[in-house]
Amino acid sequence: MVRWVIVVFSVLFALMAGVAQGGESEIRQAFQKKFPQAAVESIAPTPFAGIYEIVFNGQIAYTDDKLSFVFIGSLYDLRGAERRNLTQERSSELAAQTLQQSTALAIKRVRGNGKRVIYTFEDPNCTYCKKFQKELLKISDVTIYTFLWPILSPDSVEKSKAVWCSNDRAKAWDDLMSNGIVPKNDRKCDNPLAKNAELAQRFGVRGTPAVYLADGQQVGGFVVAEKLEQALVSVSSK
């Protein structure tokens, strides 16, 4: 029997029974009490009666209004002609919001009118990041936000710091990734590397490069220009 909810990879957590039925604030308090290490970001009702969405630590979970169960997985809407993966849609929305709010942590490069947006996580010693740089040069009318995420070696960390502390970060990054020119400066400055690592962890990024679009959709790691252009057009048409 097909139900209106399909749960994929569901993980059930045993919660205390008998929590008083209440609204979003009561659910938040009960959830936080049961999971004190969880940073609850939002509680909101879903389109389905009695089912609430909980966003915590960048994850999405669902519960009933009594908090008698919690599950993590994909919630589908089967009411229309197409199956809508509401969890996937919401995850992309949250990713887009987080990326937009984190641009101060990234190197910004603008080409053409800059109307289209790409976010990347990259390591300066990453071979595929350097190959990806060549593909990006083929893309026009785009703004690229690159989050430095040095995970390959201590040298990656030093190069990332040198780029970030350069007078012109965008040029320093382009010179490094396109021509192998390491910035020569002894400047010390605050850097966002720790925060970028937290951001990558939030998104579950496993390697570099990692590429995201303005709508929060991840289009993979190394992406050829043609595929990236198609993805950008798809986002623009929404």
Interhelix angle 127-136/225-236, nearest 10 degrees = 60
Number of domains into which the chain is organized:
2
Residue with tokens 């020569």: 184
Q: Which of 31, 59, 94 is the last residue of a domain?
A: 94
pLDDT digits (tens, 9 = 90+) for 140-183: 999 999 999 999 999 999 999 999 999 999 999 999 999 999 99
What's the CA gap between 163 and 185, in Å, rounded?
Answer: 9
Statement to judge: residues 83 and 120 lie in one domain: no
What's the CA gap between 98 and 199, in Å, rounded?
Answer: 9
Could you tell me the pLDDT band of residue 201, with boundaries at 50, 70 and 90? very high
Statement to judge: residues 44 and 110 lie in one domain: no
| Angle CA 220–222–228, to nearest 5 | 70
Q: How far is CA 129 from CA 76, 89, 222, in A?
A: 35, 28, 7
Statement to judge: residues 108 and 153 lie in one domain: yes
Q: Which strands, in side-by-side order, build the sheet including 59-64?
A: 11-12, 70-72, 59-64, 51-56, 40-45
Q: Whole-model pTM?
A: 0.81
* Residue 136 forms part of a structural domain: yes
Could you tell me the pLDDT band of residue 81, with boundaries at 50, 70 and 90? confident
Statement to judge: residues 78 and 181 lie in one domain: no
Q: How far is CA 181 from CA 108, 151, 153, in A?
A: 19, 20, 18
Q: Which domain holds residue 118?
A: 102-236
Backbone angles phi, psi at 210, to 5 degrees: -125, 130
Residue with tokens 């004190």: 36
Statement to judge: residues 77 and 155 lie in one domain: no
Q: Which of 64, 94, 124 is the last residue of a domain?
A: 94
- Please compute Rg for the chain using Cα positions: 21
The reported pLDDT for the residue numbered 170 is 97
* Residue 4 forms part of a structural domain: no
Asked whether residue 137 carries a pLDDT value surpassing 70, the answer given is yes
Statement to judge: residues 106 and 221 lie in one domain: yes
Of 30-34, 64-68, 201-205, 233-237, the poorest mean pLDDT is in 233-237
Statement to judge: residues 150 and 130 lie in one domain: yes
- Two tokens at 210? 């990692």
Statement to judge: residues 89 and 26 lie in one domain: yes
* Residue 32 forms part of a structural domain: yes
Q: Which of 63, 94, 125 is the last residue of a domain?
A: 94
- Two tokens at 18? 């008998």
Helices within 35-126 (DSSP H only): 86-101
Statement to judge: residues 76 and 128 lie in one domain: no
Query: Which CATH number does the domain housing residue 24 bear?
Result: 3.10.450.70
CA dihedral 158, 159, 160, 166 (to 10 degrees): 110
Query: Which CATH number does the domain housing residue 216 bear?
Result: 3.40.30.10
Statement to judge: residues 106 and 220 lie in one domain: yes
More confident residue, 23 or 216: 216
Statement to judge: residues 109 and 219 lie in one domain: yes
Statement to judge: residues 31 and 118 lie in one domain: no
